[in-house]
Amino acid sequence: MSPFVKKLSVELGKTEEEINEVWVESKKLTAETFGIDEADFTKREIMYTEEIVRDAFGLHREITVADFIGSEKSARDFIDEAVQSSDSFNITKSITKKKDMSDEDEKKIKTTKKDEETDEKIEE
């Protein structure tokens, strides 16, 4: 079994066999979508397959920098695709808003800004 299947099994409290059935079907769908054999999958196709499986179980995840880098697309193309497939990605949680920050996070930001201001004064 793939590490992804094992991890998802634990996360969802389902058997590895249940997850693996969806994984196998998702790999077939990915192979058809991209017109390649499963043996020729790159990181792109594996990530695509994982998203199909997550969607099948109602899971959504945040977009990460690794997703962007792994896509090998321009920022504009990546964002366009992410917005179009917003059912697959939880875009709203990916953008950190000040109101969503904890007090501790805000203190860290304020401290960092004060440190930067101090560094600027020292340099002058």
Q: Report residues of the chain scoring pLDDT below 70.
A: 61, 83-124
- The full length of the chain comes to 124
User: pLDDT for 36-66, tens place per residue?
Assistant: 999 999 999 999 999 899 888 888 767 778 8
Please tell me the predicted confidence (pLDDT) of residue 105: 59
Please tell me the predicted confidence (pLDDT) of residue 40: 96
Cα torsion angle, 99, 101, 104, 105, sign: negative
* pTM, to two decimals: 0.50
Tokens of 66: 């690794």
- How many Cα atoms are found within 13 Å in the side-chain-facing hemisphere of 3? 1
Please tell me the predicted confidence (pLDDT) of residue 22: 96
Please tell me the predicted confidence (pLDDT) of residue 81: 76
